Amino acid sequence: MNYLLIDADDTLWENNIYFEDAFDDFVDFLDHSSLNAAQIREVLNEIERVNARVHGYGARNFGRNLQQAYRHLAERKIAEQDLAHVMSLAERILEQPMELIADVEATLAALATRHDLTLFTKGHPEEQKLKVDRSGLRHYFAHTAIVKEKDAGAYQKIVAQRGLDPERTWMIGNSPKSDINPALEAGLGAVLVPHARTWVLEREELRRPEGSRFLEVETFAGLTELF
């Protein structure tokens, strides 16, 4: 038996696509005279890099980041109703249907018969709990953990709390920054399940320490061939 820590957003269900849609609507509403979408995105990226360290993640924090970007970039007088509209673009994310990624439920059902599964995700606790409940996947997991940030320390803590054997523990997810690199740093194995639209701030070069256990699958269903 292995101990499998499994990411949620963009590993089990679609998530970032809804943030991208909200950003596209923000660009249209901002209607900047000279900056294109990529340039506006860079401004927002920097705001998110700074604010995530303090406020974390989630749709409402994203809305506050959009408001800050609007205050910085707007070429017209800033009205309260405009800021409210910007926030509403992010809040709509919470209303989007849960869209499980292909073969996720069948794969979890198979893995859960052979291994100990932990849902290990980061983000706003209430938002993440709601998504877990709406997904209908909770019963496949022996444990669920929601943390503010997934760094090496967070992995070491969950391993210690659950009494897991690091040599038989693997992190599975789509994010090099949050799922792969810190898990390897903590001495765990890691499996990358790529997602074509992983959030830009979750992308980074893979760091594979000597002797580390790293694997990659094309799809979530491919996990049944490894475990």
Paired tokens of 206: 């893979």
- Who's near 167: CB < 8 A, 6+ residues apart? none
Judge if 112 and 197 occupy the same domain. Answer: yes
Domain edge (last residue) among 78, 95, 112: 95
Judge if 86 and 108 occupy the same domain. Answer: no
Tell me the residue range of the domain where 43 lies.
16-95
Domain edge (last residue) among 42, 67, 95: 95
Residues facing residue 215 across a β-bridge: 191
Domain edge (last residue) among 73, 95, 117: 95
Q: Per the structure, how many domains does the chain have?
A: 2
- Who's near 51: CB < 8 A, 6+ residues apart? 61, 64, 65, 68
CA atoms within 13 A on the CB side of 44: 27
Which residues in the chain come in under a pLDDT of 50? Answer: none
Judge if 79 and 127 occupy the same domain. Answer: no
Note the pLDDT of residue 210: 83
Judge if 150 and 60 occupy the same domain. Answer: no
CATH of the domain at 105: 3.40.50.1000
CA atoms within 13 A on the CB side of 1: 9
